[in-house]
Structure 1
Amino acid sequence: MHSSPPTHPSAAHPRTAKADSWQAAWYGTRRWSFWLLPLNWLFVLASAVRRYALLRWQQKTLATPVIVVGNISVGGTGKTPLLIALVKWLQAQGYTPGVVSRGYGGRAETYPYLLGAQSTAAQAGDEPVTIYQQTGCAVCVGPDRLAAARMLEDQGCDLLLSDDGLQHYRLGRDIEIAVVDGQRGLGNGWRLPVGPLREPISRLATVDWVIVNSPSADFAVPGLADLYFIPMQIQPHALVNLSTGAAHDVSLLAAQSVNAVAGIGNPQRFINTLAESGITAQLHAFPDHHAYTASDFAFANQRPLVMTEKDAVKCKAFAQPDWYYLAINACLPDAFWSAFAQRIERVMEQKKSRFGV
C-alpha cells in the first residue's frame, strides 16, 4: 500500500515542528516565550480595545437565539465533538439548529457560503464539513459571522450555534459555552504569545458553562478554584472505512499496530483515545487544518491507517482499502442536558417577548 520512500511528517512540514516548540513553551517546561513579554502587553491592550469597541458600537443582537461554543486558548480542546453533540440533541428536541463557522482552511468563491452535499474541505474547511456530514444541519461559513448567521435565519433555523465564536463579539450571543482541555489545562496561564490564552482566565467565570474535556483527577483552573465545570468524555464508537463508508467495531484493530494521522490542535489526545481502545499507534502529526495529498502518506510500513474524522474529509479521494477514521461521541452528564433545556426555553421566551417571534 505504502511503497514510496518513507516521509516523516515533521520533516516534510516544518510548521509541525514549530508548533511543537510553541506547545513546549506554553504547556511544558520551556520558558523561552517569556522573552516575548512586550508583545504580550501589546496583545492584551489591543484585545481589550477591540473587545470594548465591538461590544460598545458593533455588536448586533439577532431575533434568533445564538449559542457560542468556543475556548479561551489556542489549539484543540474538543469544541467540534461538543458542538455536534449539541446540534444532535437540539434536533432530537424538535429544533432546527444551524451552525456558523469561520471556515478556517477553506476558500469559497463567495461568502457567506452555505454548505451542501457536494461541499469540500477546500471550500468550507474541515470542521464545518465534518459538522455538516455528522448532523445534516445547515452550516454557513464566512469571515463575517453576522452575515452567515442571517443567512441561516433565512434558511429557517430557529437556533444558531457559533463554532469557535467566543471572541467574535460582533455577533451577539444568548448562551456562552467555553471548552477547556482537561489534560493540558490552560498551560502556563499567560496570554499570547507568552502563553496559549486568547483571553484571561477570569473570562471563564463569565460564561454560562465551562465544559472540561476528559478532566484529570486533580483538574482545577488556577485562580478559579471554586469554578463549577461540566465534565465531558470522548468515547469512540466505530472505525469507519474511508473507501467504503462501512462502520466497524473499534475492536477491529485492537491489539494491532497502526499508523495514526492527526492534523489537529492536540494530536496526543487522539493517540490516547486509540490506546484506550486497545490500538497501538505510531503518530504522524500534521499541522492543524493541513491540506493533505497522497504523498503525505508514504510511510515505510504496511500497517493499517487510522485518522480523525476531521482529517478524513480531506483524504477520501485517494484513500486506500485499509484506511479508517475513528468516529467519536461527546458524552455529557444528564444534569447538563436538563439545565441546557431549561436555559433554551428561557431564551426562547425572552426572544419572543423582545422581538415578537
Structure 2
Amino acid sequence: MKLNTPRWWYDRERRHAPMARMLLKPLSWVWAAATARRIARATPVDPGVPVISIGNLTVGGSGKTPVAREILRLLRAADIDAHALSRGYGGRLEGPIRVDLAAHTAADVGDEPLMLALDSPAWIARDRVAGARTAAAAGARALVLDDAHQNPALRKALSLIVVDGETRDDEWPFGDGSVFPSGPMREPLRAGLARADAVVVLLPADAPGADPELLATFGALPVFVARLQPAAPPPPGPLVGFAGIAKPWKVERSLKAAGAELVDFAPFPDHAAFRDQDLRFLADRAAQFGATLITTEKDWSRLTPEWRTRVVGWPVKATFEDEAAVSAALRAALTVS
C-alpha cells in the first residue's frame, strides 16, 4: 500500500492525532466489515499442493518478505521444491507468470516478488488460485504465499502471522487496535489471530528479547521468534540513507545499530517509485558529505540500472531463534495436507 505511514497509528495510548482518529473511525468500520464479509463468503480452493501463508495483521512494515524467504530456505533444506506466490503489488503484469530476474523489473512484477526470486522460483498472479495451479503444474511441491492472510482464495496448510516485535513507549505493533485508516490494522486483532496457526515475532538483531506483554497477546498460539539482521555489514565511511517502506524509520535505526556512519536519512512512502529528481537531490546531498547512498535491498530493486550503480543495496535476512521448531511445524503441516 503506497502511503506515508502515520507514526501516530502505533500509539496505543491515543496521545496523538485524536481528531484524525475520530474522523477516520467510520471508514475503519466499513473496511473491517468488508474484510470480514469477503473472508466469510469465500470457499477456499485446494490447489493440489500444500500452501503456507505468510501474512500479517497490519498495513505493511512487519517483515513478511524476509520471513517468507527464510521459510523457503528451510523447505529447500528439507528437499521440498517450494515456490513463492505473490500478488505482484506494484507491477503491471497480472500473471500467472514466473518471475524472471533477467527480464522482469519491479514495474513488471513488483519489488517483493523480485526479492523472493533471488533464492527460489517465484510467481505472481492477481488470481491466487490460477497462480497456485500454474505453479503446481510447473513442478512446485509446496507454495509459500507472501501477504495472503486476508486473502481466503486458497486452502492453507499453515498460516503464519508476522508481527513487528519492536515495542517502545510510543510504538506498539497494533497501535490502539484500530483498523485502517484510523489505525494500522487490516482487520481486528482477535479476528486475524483466530485464523492463524502460529505467530512469528520479528525482532531487530540487537533487541534484548520479545516483550512478555506482546507475547501474552497471542494467547495459546505457538510463537516463533526471529531476528532481522544484516546479511552484510554497511559499507564503511559516511552514508546517506533512504527507504520507501511502511516504516522507514526502522531502516534508519537498523543502519545505526549495525554501525553505519549515517549522516542523513530520507523517508519515502511505502513502495515509492523514486523519481529521478528525488535521486538527484539525494546524490547532491551525499556529495556534500562525501558520502555513499544506501537503501534497502527491496528499494534498490525499484531503481533504474543507472541508479543501481550509484546506490548500495543493503541486504537483511530473518533468522529463527529455534529453527528446529519452525522446521517441525512445516513438516507437520506438509504431512497433514
Class of the TM-score when normalised by the shorter of the 2 chains: 0.7 to 0.9
Aligned with residue 182 of structure 1, among 165, 176, 180: 165
Q: Is 1:218 matched up with 2:211?
A: yes
- Greater alpha carbon shift after TM alignment, 61-70 vs 320-329: 320-329
Do structure 1's residue 113 and structure 2's residue 97 form an aligned pair? Answer: yes
Aligned match of 1:208: 197
Cross-structure match for 2:228: 234
User: Given the superposition, is the C-alpha separation of residues 251 and 173 from structure 1 closer, same or farther in structure 2, using an over 3 Å criterion?
Assistant: closer
Change (3 A) 1:25 1:225: closer
Query: Does the CA-based 8 Å contact 1:294-1:318 persist in structure 2?
Result: no
Match of 2:276 in 1: 294
> Per the alignment, in what secondary structure is the counterpart of residue 170 of structure 1?
coil
Q: What is the CA distance between 1:234 and its match in structure 2?
A: 1.0
Matched residue type, 1:318: E
Amino acid at match of 2:306: F
Distance 1:271 1:233 in 2: 17
Match of 1:9 in 2: none
Separation of aligned partners in 2, 1:213 and 1:347 = 21
Partner Cα separation in structure 1 for residue 234 and residue 157 of structure 2: 42
Normalising to structure 2: TM-score of the pair? 0.86
C-alpha spacing 1:167/1:279, structure 2 compared with 1 (3 Å): same
SS of residue matched to 2:231: strand
Pick closer, same or farther for the CA change 1:102–1:88 going to 2, 3 Å: same
Where in structure 2 are the equivalents of 1:123-202 lying within 5 Å?
A: 123-133=108-118, 135=119, 137-183=120-166, 184-202=172-190
> Once the 2 structures are TM-superposed, how far is the Cα of residue 128 of structure 1 from its aligned partner?
0.3
* Displacement after TM superposition at 1:162 (Å): 0.7
In the TM superposition, what whole-angstrom CA distance separates every residue of 1:174-214 from its partner, at most 9, and x where no partner exists? Answer: 10000111124111211222211112211325412211111
Look up the match of 1:348.
334
Deviation at 1:328, TM superposition (A): 1.3
Counterpart Cα distance in 2 of 1:199 and 1:40: 9
Runs of 5+ unmatched residues, structure 1: 1-14, 239-249, 352-357
Structure 2 gap ranges (5+): 167-171
- Does 1:265 find its partner at 2:246? yes
Change in Cα spacing, 1:113 to 1:19, as seen in structure 2 (3 Å) is same
Find the structure with the greater CA-based Rg: 1
| Cα deviation, residue 322, structure 1 | 5.1
Structure 2: distance between partners of 1:121 and 1:51: 29
* Partner residue in 2 for 1:311: 299
Number of residues of Structure 1 aligned to a counterpart in Structure 2: 314
Tell whether the 8 Å contact from 1:138 to 1:152 is kept in structure 2 after alignment: no
Distance 1:295 1:342, change over 3 A: same
What is the root-mean-square deviation of aligned Cα atoms in Å? Answer: 2.3
Percent of aligned pairs sharing the same letter: 29
- SS of the residue aligned with 2:254? helix
Conserved 8 A contact 2:4-2:246: no
Closer/same/farther in 2, CA of residues 25 and 330 from structure 1, 3 Å limit? closer
Calculate the TM-score normalised by the size of structure 1.
0.81
Tell me how far apart the structure 2 counterparts of residues 327 and 40 of structure 1 sit (CA, whole Å): 35
Whole-angstrom distance in 2 between the partners of 1:24 and 1:283: 20
